[in-house]
Amino acid sequence: MFTEKNITELINQAKNMQEKIKEIKKNIKTKEIIGKSGAGLVKMTITGTYDCKNVTINKKIINQESKNILEDLIAAAFNDAIRQIENIQKEQLNINQ
């Protein structure tokens, strides 16, 4: 059975959880994560806000002329995909920012 005390405790727990989630999100925004594939032949650095900072492709698997262009195109495509996901989420949640 719910009592006024139980409901108050539940509300306080929810508020504490919201604050904890805000703090976690704040801390994650400052992080940079490096994803790797092909035993480290391809690396991608992403921020905690899902922005691709750079892509590195080992010269063993591609010629140097195409390497820089391809790295930039991959990063741009990744960022475009993330923005599309964010737009879909906003539309579905009906959020106006």
Could you tell me which CATH class the domain 4-93 is placed in?
alpha beta
Is residue 75 within 8 A of residue 55, CB to CB? The reply is yes
Domain boundary assignment for the chain:
4-93
Per-residue pLDDT of the chain (97 residues; tens, 9 = 90+): 678 888 899 999 999 999 988 888 888 888 899 999 989 899 999 998 888 999 999 988 888 888 888 899 999 999 999 998 888 888 888 865 5
pLDDT at 36: 93
Give every CB contact of residue 97 below 8 A, 6+ residues apart in sequence.
90
Claim: this prediction has a pTM higher than 0.95: no
Give every CB contact of residue 67 below 8 A, 6+ residues apart in sequence.
57, 59
